[in-house]
Chains A and B, each alone.
Chain A
Amino acid sequence: MTHEAWATVMVVLPLLAAAAAFLLGGRWAAWAGNLAAPVLVAGAAVLALAVGRGEEVRHALGGWGAPLGIEWRLDGAGAAMQLATALVGWGVALFATGYEPHGDLERAPGRFWPPFLMLWAGLDALCLSADVFNLYVALELIALAAIVLVTLEGKAAAVTAAMRYLLVAQVGALCYFVGVGFLYGFGTLDLTQLGAAVRPGVPATLALALMTVGLMAKSALVPLHVWLPPAHSAAPSPASALLSGLVVAASMLVLLRLWAAVFDAVAGEALKQAIGALGVASVLWGSLLALRQERLKPLLAYSTVAQVGYLLLLVPLGGAAGAWPGGFLLLIAHALAKAAMFLAAGLILEALGDDRLPSIHGAARHMPMTVFALGIGGLTLMGLPPSGGFLAKWLLLGAALESGQWWWALALLAGGLLAAGYVFTILAHAFKEASDAPFTPVRPWMEGIPLGLAVVSLLMGLAGAPLTALLEAGAP
């Protein structure tokens, strides 16, 4: 199959599977998802290998190239994100097949699959998109599917959280869309062409402000983060894994691409530093709030706020060597690790009936594999070797020090320490012995899924050379 064909499969297959899952319903819905997932993993791997080899993967839909038509173009960052999406998606598909449904899902467990597969299609489309309007469409598809996922169990808290999420996502999308309008004044929507055409001035500044704020709201960066923790913790656990691992990363990917291709030339140094400072604020504030949580899922959700903050450092670090691959390495390592941790949290919830931290005492004895998955995923959050998160942090540290902006290095180290604080809070509770906790055994193969994802995030630490080569393909 040609690369163009694979690129088409990546978007069309999950859409078809979503339709099939919707029509079939019930137990058959899971079949649709589980048949599509391995194909999508294979496709993502083929495309990533091609991009890593330096081949150009582009596809002009309907034969019309930019600026008139829609053109898909896969760069290294997109290919890596697509691969992470596929791996997490496959893990979630397997997990959701065996997961005990709760709330409204109990009556119609098949309802999980259509929004899940729509989300997958949206993420793949986003990775392939190379123009600001297509990115908008993909972002909308992702946001709507994500909001539906939050509400699936139908609990009051989930619906409230989803409404807030909807509000923020729509305002963010609107901001972004108006920004697209301003950018269209430069005569094109294609990212590369925009980079050449854009001129400093009021329209560019307005576009920058609107799009940056809109995407920051969607990525839950401080101070626009309040919607995320309730939404991510109220969602069913497999959905939380998707939301925290992938959805937030998607809007971040768009933000970073826009800055690298278009805004970097427009913005002044002070503004870049200010945006970096907002990132640090996210890291610190998110981590501090994570430390204060008494439940596992909200803790993990606040940790997402913190981890996304690191990525904003790419704005001030801009062209420093290692910053771009470092940032995206962090993005994908976090996606895998956080998904693993949310799935592990789901199993703990299943086994112990509660995710309050004092209730997980004894988890290390009852379900060592799951606690192990939490620990290994935690390595990436803390940025400790040999995880993918460590390599990312090493690259970012190097970029900060070599560009003479040592203050970002301090933020990176402080963030790691705070992360160690909340990760080990979880582990300490899990290691504590408790004799009388009620415990429902979970299926052993399900324990393997979070462990597998966590191990992938760990082994990324050994694949640093090929991964950076991939991420630097088509990098600014």
Chain B
Amino acid sequence: MNWTGLPPVLIVLSSLLPGIAIFFLAEERTRLRVALNLGGAVLKMALTILMLWGVWRGQRFEFTFALLPGADFVLRIDALALLFVTLSSTLWLVTTVYAIGYLEDSPNRSRFFGFFSLCVTATVGIAQAGNLLTLFLFYELLTLSTYPLVVHRGTDAALDAGRVYLAYAVTAGAVLLAGIAWLYALAGPFDFAAEGGALAHVEREHRTALTAIFVLLVGGFGVKAALVPLHGWLPRAMVAPAPVSALLHAVAVVKAGAFGIVRVVYDVYGQTLAVDLGVTTPLAALAAATILYGSLQALRQDDLKRRLAYSTVSQLSYIVLGTALAGPVATIGGLVHLVHQGLMKITLFFCAGNLAETLGVHKISEMDGAGRRMPWTMTAFTVAALGMMGAPPVAGFVSEWYLGVGALAAGQGWALAVLLVSSALNASYFLPILHRAWFVERTAPWPHEEPARSGRLETSLSLLGPAVLTAALSLGAGLLAGLDGSPLGWSRFIAAQEFPL
């Protein structure tokens, strides 16, 4: 093994080892815990930046370890992996700061941060997985390490949500395992392959089996990606503390599912084979249905976090849609939305958490006048909400533009119509929130104002800073989309490898 195997492992270990250490810390060792958390997050960030530089210059990083004879554990950093690694390490750093502020003085923090680190470990593992088996390993680790976070508060509602979450996730894991084992039995062990997929050698005689396996794999990943009708766990999981909703249920967990689908379509089957088998059109239709259904459900929610959750259901399928349209431009749109949706949605959840922690506001009907009381928070919220609607110059506009153009380029005009309707729906559930917050006078007192959170600023700095930062990032990703180093630039870089022109 030479040194190029090291970085992928270090990226995984930089959150795994601090996570394990944190489990064994006594509850009152706050400073050491914070140091471990932030140290790991910063180290991961630094490694990621190094990798970005290396991969841009054409370097590949790969670590292989024989798990069993004929079944390797492969961590590999390619451009697509880095897209997701960069997203998760950046947002992990931000969310860690937020979580430290959010959970001040609440019980069981060692347990919380331990599992939190494990979740991020699993996410970067999923990103870097070099074959389906490795991906599955980390995918299951993610399920297991999120469960304690969902039930963290130990209330009946939390345990209920945890049970539903597990029922979905563990079943999905079994379905996924069935698909992967079947594929290995059929095709032998193989790694992900950019350009053309890895299954060319078994294509001819096993078309039916390959179609069935595709359904199993997408079914397994679709649960975490919250494809309708497999989305039921997501809105319920919103009982978890706000940092969990923000990072995991807006970014890591759901993205793991979407990312899995992207890998299956591009690097396992290859989009030529996928189109040839005729599985992409049903997938695109399912994604479109999810986009519309999620938005319609979001309209009906009064609970802020639940509305955001349904909005996540809807927005995630943009990524799946971009993948399923199977053209170069739509691919760019889908991939870049992986990052853009993450930035915008985490901002929204941070803001929802700030409102709940500072003012006790959980419902949209309680938000009258929130803009005047918490102007920074609501400004961040507004930027992200506008992005969700696809308004320029926020990042969401860039994704939707590429998806729309990609749909036309792939000759699937109906998808453009779906995107337009969805934007309209997004506007109709976000604009009323903005209207209440900025333009309606407050008449009643706040439901539960937390005096400890108010000071010179509208709320604690550790809660406000992350929200403002991610809002700025969403704005920046849209404004600077033309640069090579922007999420869009990187997505074009990936698509150029998938579709060598």
Interface residue ranges, A against B (CB under 8 Å): 364-365, 368, 372, 375, 379, 382, 384-386, 390-391, 394-395, 397-398, 401-402, 409, 413, 416-417, 420, 424, 427-428, 431-433, 461-462, 464-465, 468-469
> For the complex, is B482 an interface residue (Cβ under 8 Å from A)?
no
Instruction: Please classify the interface of chain B as helix (H, G, I), strand (E, B), loop, or mixed, using the class held by over half of its residues.
Output: helix
Residue of B whose beta carbon sits closest to that of A414: B174
A396 to B69, alpha carbons, bound, how many Å?
Answer: 14
A123 to B133, alpha carbons, bound, how many Å?
Answer: 36
Residues of A near B363 (CB, < 8 A) are none
Q: Given A428-B151, A465-B67, does the pair A401, B182 have CB atoms closer than 8 Å?
A: yes
Question: Would B174 and A428 count as touching, CB distance under 8 A?
Answer: no
Interchain nearest-CB distance for A407 vs B (Å):
12
> For the complex, is B140 an interface residue (Cβ under 8 Å from A)?
yes
Question: Would A428 and B159 count as touching, CB distance under 8 A?
Answer: yes
A464 to B69, alpha carbons, bound, how many Å?
Answer: 8
Which residue of A368, A382, A402, A433 has the most chain B CB atoms within 10 A of its CB atom?
Answer: A433
A384 to B141, alpha carbons, bound, how many Å?
Answer: 8
Cross-interface CB contact of B184 among A398, A424, A432, cutoff 8 Å: A398
Interface residue ranges, B against A (CB under 8 Å): 23, 66-69, 71, 107-108, 110-111, 133, 136-137, 140-141, 144, 147-148, 151, 153-155, 159, 162-163, 166, 170-171, 173-174, 177-178, 181-182, 184-185
Question: Would B181 and A428 count as touching, CB distance under 8 A?
Answer: no
Question: Would B163 and A397 count as touching, CB distance under 8 A?
Answer: no
Interchain nearest-CB distance for A424 vs B (Å):
6
Instruction: Please classify the interface of chain A as helix (H, G, I), strand (E, B), loop, or mixed, using the class held by over half of its residues.
Output: helix
Q: Given A385-B141, A401-B181, A428-B163, does the pair A420, B155 have CB atoms closer than 8 Å?
A: no
Interchain nearest-CB distance for A139 vs B (Å):
32
Question: Would B177 and A397 count as touching, CB distance under 8 A?
Answer: yes
Residues of A near B163 (CB, < 8 A) are 424, 428
Residues of B near A372 (CB, < 8 A) are 23
Residues of A near B153 (CB, < 8 A) are 433
Question: Would B68 and A464 count as touching, CB distance under 8 A?
Answer: yes
Cross-interface CB contact of B162 among A390, A398, A417, A428, cutoff 8 Å: A428
Question: Would B148 and A402 count as touching, CB distance under 8 A?
Answer: no
A384 to B159, alpha carbons, bound, how many Å?
Answer: 21
Q: Given A385-B141, A468-B69, does the pair A413, B178 have CB atoms closer than 8 Å?
A: yes
Question: Would A413 and B185 count as touching, CB distance under 8 A?
Answer: no
Interchain nearest-CB distance for A379 vs B (Å):
7
Question: Would B181 and A424 count as touching, CB distance under 8 A?
Answer: no
Residues of B near A397 (CB, < 8 A) are 177, 181
A177 to B151, alpha carbons, bound, how many Å?
Answer: 53
Residues of B near A398 (CB, < 8 A) are 181, 184-185
A420 to B177, alpha carbons, bound, how many Å?
Answer: 15
Residues of B near A391 (CB, < 8 A) are 67-68
Interchain nearest-CB distance for A417 vs B (Å):
5
A433 to B111, alpha carbons, bound, how many Å?
Answer: 14
Closest CB pairs A-B (n = 6): A433-B154, A401-B185, A385-B137, A397-B181, A464-B68, A420-B170
Q: A398-B184, A420-B166, A427-B147 are in contact. List 4 more A-B contacts (CB 8 A).
A: A368-B111, A424-B147, A431-B154, A468-B69
Q: Given A386-B137, A417-B171, does the pair A465, B69 have CB atoms closer than 8 Å?
A: yes
A390 to B107, alpha carbons, bound, how many Å?
Answer: 33
A469 to B68, alpha carbons, bound, how many Å?
Answer: 9
Cross-interface CB contact of B181 among A409, A433, A461, A464, cutoff 8 Å: A409
A391 to B162, alpha carbons, bound, how many Å?
Answer: 26
Question: Would B67 and A432 count as touching, CB distance under 8 A?
Answer: no
A384 to B151, alpha carbons, bound, how many Å?
Answer: 20
Residues of B near A465 (CB, < 8 A) are 66-69
Residue of B whose beta carbon sits closest to that of A375: B144
Q: Given A397-B181, A468-B69, does the pair A416, B140 have CB atoms closer than 8 Å?
A: no
A433 to B108, alpha carbons, bound, how many Å?
Answer: 11
A375 to B173, alpha carbons, bound, how many Å?
Answer: 17
Q: Given A372-B23, A384-B140, A424-B166, does the pair A394, B71 have CB atoms closer than 8 Å?
A: yes
26 A-B interface contacts by CB (under 8 A): A364-B111, A368-B111, A372-B23, A384-B173, A385-B137, A385-B140, A394-B68, A394-B71, A394-B133, A398-B185, A401-B185, A413-B177, A413-B178, A416-B177, A420-B170, A424-B163, A424-B166, A424-B170, A428-B151, A431-B148, A431-B151, A431-B154, A461-B67, A465-B68, A465-B69, A469-B69
Residues of B near A368 (CB, < 8 A) are 23, 110-111
